[in-house]
Amino acid sequence: MRLSALDFAVLAAYFLLSAALGLRFARRAGKSAGEFFTAGRSLPWWLAGTSMVATTFAADTPLAVTGLVAEHGIAGNWVWWSMVMGSVLTVFLYARLWRRAEVTTDVEFAELRYSGRPAAFLRAFRALYLALPINLIVMGWVNLAMVKVLELTLGVRPFAAMLLLLALTVVYSSASGLWGVVVTDALQFTVAMLGCIALAYFAVDAVGGLEQLSARLPKRYGSAEAALSFFPTSGAWMPLTALLAYLAVQWWATWYPGAEPGGGGYVAQRILSSRSERDGVLATLWFTLAHYAVRPWPWILTALASVLLYPELQDKSSGYIRAAVELLPSGLKGLFLAAFAAAYMSTLSTQLNWGASYLVNDVYARFVRQKAEPKELVRISRLLTAALFLLSAGSTWLLERLGSIEGAWRLLIALGAGTGAVYLLRWYWWRINAWSEVSAMAASLVSFVALTLLGLNPADPLESAQLMLATAGLTTVAWVVVTLLTRPADEETLLSFYRRVRPPGPGWRKVAERAGLPPEGGLSRAILGWAAGVVCVYGALFGVGKLLLGPRLEGAGYLAASAVAFAVVAKSLATRR
């Protein structure tokens, strides 16, 4: 890719503005660990929600979507579209509870909800597990994707360029804390979307426009349905039974980073950093709408066009980059590179801050230096952010030499498959304890490994669905049995948790009676809001797609259904102020 003076000017403007915005909040972040990791709980909903979307928009995301669409048509996106129900569930049933908890990290929840040594062990274990292996694998994967982008576009020494971007990210992340991260996220999301929309326009134009795109795709895929259907067709790569398993079970049963049942990770961090319960709910709602209904279509259009433009490519995902190299004019090439830099930096800045929050709040301040002064915690936070930067560079080098992270991801999935139910119900049933979570993780790993050894292949869609169903069932039985055989959290902890969080529903009735408080209501209204929210998101997702690719009358129908559902959502939220 040859860059003009205008392209370099666009890139320079982006980097200077990112650095200036990030460093502007350095003094504020230096006041305390609370400011550094939760922005003083003062984020408005639109900024917290945009930061969530920006974090999930990594350098590898458009490439992954391009690969799915090139191989399986638009329906290939059900690998992640199936998670809509879980995200909307967080909006209506969990965002308020997270904000009321007022913890600094989601793993601190363990000692708020449970008691004794099991709670302390669970908090320490999950903090180290999430901050190190999980976090480093995520950062290594994102780094490798950025290396691929730089190699295909600029032909420079990709690792050197990637390390330069990572170093810039760690400077403002370690200096300015979460406020600097979320403000730069807003800029980076805007730049990333503009770059992707520009590429989609030129890619579609290169094949003759939207009408020609729709007309020419059936020849490549074998039929119009295989290319453009929103659902897998008969005999497709994902059998109907597998799709139903994803829609009925996966979204609540499986834990993995960025899609935690009931919220967690950086989603919980943004909710906890919001200035009110309402801001936390609206932030999560905006994130869900933008993540599923707004953001994907520029990627999908470019992916479909790349299938027609570059049918000979062996690496289908690289068609996205090739389209940018060959089709974008001067100036927009710089915007495209800035978009990928923005996507990369927004994800890495969050991973660095989020990972350091576990090491500082849940390990150092809890188990090493309980009486540490605020300034000391800030200093340690900045040092550990820099340390994670170095470790991520090392993990990238290691993963690159291994050639694949499939084995590592399978281990992570093994630890998370089937554990979702306990993460959802711990908020709504007083009887769950720390051993419930520990046994769920252990049973999930053992079940996954045993079933894999017995012959179920995680790479096959149907066998993967069978593996997920079996693991979820065995894990659920295991943790429920352990829960009933072990002691609950002590009464003082349960009463304290209930008074602070006030979870609704019958699962806390006994504790509410002991606390002398009426049971919290609103659960049925929240469930109605969840159902309407699912219709709203899927309606908007399919409606935008049909308006672009036709039939447009059908798209108008989807959008009308989405609008009606959104009215129900708005009414549900208004009655819960």
Place of tokens 């080098």: 397
Residue 69 placed within a domain: no
Given this model, what pLDDT does residue 577 score? 52
The string over 496-532, giving b where at least 16 C-beta atoms fall within 10 Å of a residue's C-beta and e elsewhere, is bbbeebbbbbebbeebbeebeeebeebbebbeebbbb
* Residue 159 in this model has a pLDDT that exceeds 90: no
Q: How confident is the model at residue 576 (pLDDT cuts 50, 70, 90)?
A: low
Contact 301/200 with Cβ under 8 angstroms? Answer: yes
- The proportion of the chain whose per-residue pLDDT surpasses 70, expressed as a percent, equals 96
Asked if 108 and 362 count as a contact pair (C-beta separation under 8 A), the reply is yes
More confident call, 219 vs 149: 219
Q: What is the pTM of this model?
A: 0.93
Across residues 115-139, what is the average pLDDT?
93
pLDDT digit string (tens) for 185-201? 999 999 999 999 999 99
Residue 532 lies in a domain: yes
Query: Is pLDDT larger for residue 88 or for residue 60?
Result: 88
Residue 577 lies in a domain: yes
Residue 527 lies in a domain: yes
Q: Which domain holds residue 571?
A: 522-577
Least confident of 65-79, 141-155, 262-276: 141-155
Is the pLDDT reported for residue 104 higher than 50? yes
Q: Is the pLDDT of residue 405 over 50?
A: no
| pLDDT value at 408 more than 60 | no
pLDDT digits (tens, 9 = 90+) for 522-549: 899 999 999 999 999 999 999 999 999 9
Asked whether residue 475 is domain-assigned, the answer is no
Read off the pLDDT of each residue in 488-508 and give the average, rounded to a whole number. Answer: 96
Residue with the bigger pLDDT between 332 and 398: it is 332
Determine, yes or no, domain membership for 542.
Answer: yes
Q: Is residue 410 part of a domain?
A: no
- Residue 536 counted as domain residue: yes
Query: Residue 413 has what pLDDT?
Result: 64
Distance CA 237, CA 428 (A): 38
Average pLDDT, the chain: 90
Q: Tell me: the pLDDT tens digits for 551-572?
A: 999 999 999 999 999 999 999 8
- Number of domains the chain is built from: 1
DSSP codes, 523-577: HHHHHHHHHHHHHHHHHHHHHHHHHHHS-HHHHHHHHHHHHHHHHHHHHHHHTT-
